Amino acid sequence: MNTSILNARIHYMQRLYRSLLDTMARPGSIEQLEPYVYQACPSEFQYVIGIAITLLDQEVSFYETSISKELTPHLQLLTRSTTKSLHESDYILVHKGTAPDLMEAKRGTDLYPDQSATIIIQVSRISDDQEGEVRLKLRGPGIKSEQMLSLDGLNRELLSELLLNSGRFPLGLDWILVDDEGRVCCLPRSTKIVEEA
């Protein structure tokens, strides 16, 4: 890889990491990501792969939920990260339309609550306009009083897991949601989440 390409990738990852930190610190806030253009990978994954190359390295493991596992070889090549089973992985990549059993995912322990998995999930649309299929009310650290979040394309089984997750703090899962247009928001395990009717 030549120096200019390497530098461009480093700067891209720094910008994306800053966006993830900002949205993790302010749950339900929405940031716009730049796509990661990687010719060998379908364009529908350009935001998911950008997040993945920013967070994965040889020290962590990941699991991809799709049957075809089409991102796995690319992520292994780009990040040197290893794959493990769902219940052992540090990061779980959930493709739009899939519904893995996240009850098996790592949730940390009383002594080490930080040893839990992060879910990176692709949905159709994220907004704060309250027009989505799923409307969530968020409370907790990083939120002044409450924050509304609307989602399209989130599987109902995963929604149930997300709602259950919010009552398990300090154990639980951290969620990173990204939509088809590159909008991203984070829901750390400390966030209290209620579905609005």
Q: Which fold has domain 3-196?
A: Rossmann fold (3.40.50)
Do 153 and 178 contact (CB within 8 A), yes or no?
no
Q: For 192, what's the count of Cα atoms within 13 Å in the CB-facing half-sphere?
A: 7
Summarised one tens digit per residue, pLDDT across range 52-72 is 999 999 999 999 988 778 889
d(CA 72, CA 51): 14
Q: What angle, 0 to 180 degrees and rounded to 10, lies between the N-to-C axes of helices 46-55 and 3-25?
A: 90
Q: What is the pTM of this model?
A: 0.94
Written as six digits, the tokens of 171 are 């154990």
Mean pLDDT by 10 residues, the chain (197 residues): 76 94 95 88 87 95 87 91 95 89 90 93 92 91 93 91 86 95 96 90
What integer pLDDT is reported at residue 1 of this predicted model? Answer: 57
Domain boundaries, the chain: 3-196
